[in-house]
Amino acid sequence: MDKKIITTLVISTMLFWAINFHMAKIALKFYSPMAVAAIRFFFGVMILFPIMWMQFRSFKIPTKFSRTDWWNIFLTGFFGFFLTIYFFNKGLTTTSAINSSLIIATSTIITAILAFMLMGKKLVKLQWFAILISLLGVAIILVKGNLIELLDLKIAEGDFYILMMAIVFSLSQVIIEKKLSHLNSIITTSFASLVALILFILSSFPELISTEIPLDFTFWGSILFMGILGTGIAYAFFYKGVVVLGATKSALYMNLIPLFTVLTAFPFGEIVTPIQLVGGTVIIFGLLVFGWSRRKSGDLV
């Protein structure tokens, strides 16, 4: 598949994940983080496996997995889905939008560091500079241009959970690129999602059977969005990007999440300010510099 198409899919993923911020806030009013994740992944798996079967036009998967492949798929499901979504939901119950989005944006740097440590991949100075530009854009958006506020940030409980989310999600990207790039991305995503679904059900089963099922339209609307688009489709797009573009470049696009979170906030009563648009422009510029530096350096990462 053409890299431009893959890049578009990865950017679409960032949009879906940005909207997830709003949707998760709604769903968490009705259930605990574990229960919300279990219901979300149920719908994610329900959409992923039919997509996989339609792609191969058969219920038989045309791939033979080794024991190592199964182990790495489990690790991807555990780190990239189970722990990532648990920390995401848990953090959103207590942390602020400023702190959580800033911490999630560090996934770019964390992924680059992990790729360097585990895969020996290096970044040239211009690429590090591009990462810093994008992070500056994130900061401008989230503190409304008053960068002095960054000095007052403190790691509270919710912020710690979001930081852990950034770390485990970055680790899953490195596992995908290093250990599972030879497998079809939709197969990897489908089975890793199934692993996460089983873990979430086991963790939240008592609550799921004892709590009355909500009939609220906003709850089910948020769950269906997160399950189908924010989980099934988004993860399939993103991990395809990890395989084709590499973990570091794919992670860089996560700097778009704060921008998209702001731009999709209108239905939730929030207003976009000019300074936030300036920050978004800085983010895009950082992405362009990073892409240009990859071509100049012979696509080192």
Is residue 58 situated within a structural domain?
Answer: yes
Is residue 228 situated within a structural domain?
Answer: yes
Judge whether residue 194 has pLDDT over 80: yes
| Six token digits for residue 63 | 């791939």
Is residue 108 situated within a structural domain?
Answer: yes
What is the C-alpha to C-alpha distance for residues 162 and 153, in angstroms, rounded to an integer? 14
Read off the pLDDT of each residue in 84-89 and give the average, rounded to a whole number. 91
Is residue 107 situated within a structural domain?
Answer: yes
Is residue 277 situated within a structural domain?
Answer: no
Q: How confident is the model at residue 148 (pLDDT cuts 50, 70, 90)?
A: low
Is residue 158 situated within a structural domain?
Answer: yes
What is the C-alpha to C-alpha distance for residues 220 and 226, in angstroms, rounded to an integer? 10
Q: How confident is the model at residue 301 (pLDDT cuts 50, 70, 90)?
A: very low
In the chain, how many domains are there?
1
Read off the pLDDT of each residue in 276-288 and give the average, rounded to a whole number. 80
> Taking the CA atoms of the chain, what radius of gyration do you get in angstroms?
19
Q: What is the pLDDT of residues 210-237, one digit of tens each?
A: 888 888 999 999 999 999 999 989 988 9
Question: Which range of residues forms the domain containing residue 91?
Answer: 3-121+153-244
| Six token digits for residue 274 | 């000019």
Check: CB of residue 162 under 8 Å from CB of residue 83. no
Is residue 91 situated within a structural domain?
Answer: yes
| Six token digits for residue 199 | 């873990």
Is residue 266 situated within a structural domain?
Answer: no
| Six token digits for residue 127 | 């690429």
> E strands along the chain, which residues?
none
Check: CB of residue 219 under 8 Å from CB of residue 39. no
Identify the residue with better confidence: 78 or 24.
78
Read off the pLDDT of each residue in 261-285 and give the average, rounded to a whole number. 77
What pLDDT is stored for residue 300 in this prediction?
45
Read off the pLDDT of each residue in 128-142 and give the average, rounded to a whole number. 79
What pLDDT is stored for residue 244 in this prediction?
86
What is the C-alpha to C-alpha distance for residues 146 and 149, in angstroms, rounded to an integer? 6
Identify the residue with better confidence: 65 or 190.
190
What pLDDT is stored for residue 193 in this prediction?
93
Read off the pLDDT of each residue in 269-294 and give the average, rounded to a whole number. 76
Identify the residue with better confidence: 139 or 144.
139
Reported residue count of the chain is 301
Residue 214: exposure state from Cβ atoms within 10 A (0-12, 13-18, ≥19): middle
The torsion region of residue 246 among left (phi > 0), alpha (psi -120 to 50) and beta comes to left
Q: What is the pLDDT of residues 20-68, one digit of tens each?
A: 988 988 898 888 889 999 999 999 999 988 888 887 776 666 667 888 9
What is the C-alpha to C-alpha distance for residues 153 and 176, in angstroms, rounded to an integer? 33
| Mean pLDDT lowest among 25-34, 64-73, 121-130 | 121-130
Check: CB of residue 270 under 8 Å from CB of residue 24. no
Judge whether residue 296 has pLDDT over 90: no
| Mean pLDDT lowest among 196-210, 213-227, 241-255 | 241-255
Question: Three-state SS string across 8-68, please?
Answer: HHHHHHHHHHHHHHHHHHHHCCCCCHHHHHHHHHHHHHHHHHHHHHHHHCCCCCCCCCCHH
Cα three-residue angle 111-113-116, rounded to 5 degrees:
105
What is the C-alpha to C-alpha distance for residues 51 and 105, in angstroms, rounded to an integer? 30
**What is each CA distance from 39 to 29, 36, 92, 301, in whole angstroms?**
14, 5, 17, 36
What pLDDT is stored for residue 42 in this prediction?
95
What is the C-alpha to C-alpha distance for residues 53 and 45, in angstroms, rounded to an integer? 12
